[in-house]
Amino acid sequence: MYTDWSALRSVTGAFLAALVASVLLTRVVLSIARRRELRQQEREDGPATHLTKQGTPSLGGLALVPAIVLAAAAVLLPHYGPERFGASPALLVLAVGALFALLGLADDWAKVRGGDSRGVKARWRILIEIGLAAGFVCLLRVPAGDSSWGFGALVSGLGPYGDLLWRALGVFVVVGAANAVNFTDGVDGLAATTVAIWGGVLALALLFTGNPAYAALAAAITGGAAGFLWFNSNKAKIFMGDVGSLGLGALMGALAVITDLQWFLALSGVVFIVEVLSVVLQVTYFRATKGKRLFRMTPIHHAFELRGWSEPQLVARFAIIGLAAGGLALMLFGYYT
């Protein structure tokens, strides 16, 4: 029976602190966004039903990401102590999430100022993301052989080439997770719901394997995303924007890398994987066939909208898929540990 009540209190405290902070800060940001007219710019090529959302306040991530960072730091500071916290790997996760959020903020601000949905050019944004992720993984110790289930164990016998592979995968995971959440953020409450589920599943896995600090980080992600749903569930009063989706995704990816649980992110986050793959397949097929489409619209949640799924139905069904994938990931994690 699990009896580490101290660790459980820390994880629960991180969840509750992030949840309350997210609700309160989002209310403040919503008020400012309305007053300053920081409005969502809808895609012209998106579903016609989304045109009614034009003008919805955006930049909710300005509340969401700080709520997670502050709650996690407040819980982890007593765990590490003031001196050790400054050198803690957990602090690196929070830092990379904050930096990606700032990049998303620049993208959102370009959209608001430009009055369209394009923002910063994609190639420049991706290059900056790769640079930030590379800086993050270069500061980490490769966990070669630390566990039997991690990627570090698989490459531990390859010497410096193994280290390079681990770090390259780390960059891919952080950048991929950030953009996966960004793609998923297209329906009221979808990104926040699926991120909350993912964080909760990972928090359980880390808690029961003796990683309370990282479990608290995952719990803070869950609490922050859940609190944001107070204003973001259908019909959304505010959208998270790229500042929220890139920040959340980077936190997820960085946490998966630092715990050497890249496979866990891929399996429990299958919704995000499918969203990204749908876009990649659509673009590839479109170019190969000179204009034909594999799906009616991507990311894939838009294709289901065009099939008649309402937004609440879509969020509920994707959440069920996320819960099932998370349960499967927990079963495998428990079996191999």
Per-residue model confidence (pLDDT) at position 54: 74
Q: Tell me the C-alpha distance between 95 and 181, whole Å.
A: 18
Mean pLDDT by 10 residues, the chain (337 residues): 73 95 96 83 59 79 96 82 62 94 91 69 91 93 64 72 89 96 94 96 89 92 97 92 96 94 92 95 92 91 92 96 95 79
The pTM (predicted TM-score) of the whole model is 0.92
Per-residue model confidence (pLDDT) at position 169: 93
Q: Tell me the C-alpha distance between 323 and 321, whole Å.
A: 5
What is the torsion angle, in degrees rounded to the nearest 10, for the CA atoms of residue 22, residue 25, residue 31 and residue 32?
A: -120
Per-residue model confidence (pLDDT) at position 201: 95
Q: Tell me the C-alpha distance between 35 and 78, whole Å.
A: 38
**Single-letter residue type at 75:** V
Per-residue model confidence (pLDDT) at position 116: 60
Per-residue model confidence (pLDDT) at position 312: 94
What is the sign, positive or negative, of the torsion defined by CA atoms of 95, 96, 102, 104? negative
Who contacts 324 (Cβ-Cβ below 8 Å, separation ≥6)?
Answer: none
- Is 171 in contact with 126 (CB distance < 8 Å)? no
Taking CA atoms, 310 is separated from 50, 125, 256, in Å, by 12, 32, 32
Q: Where are the alpha helices (DSSP H) in the chain?
A: 5-36, 61-80, 82-86, 89-114, 122-138, 151-155, 160-184, 190-207, 212-232, 241-258, 262-268, 270-288, 300-306, 311-336
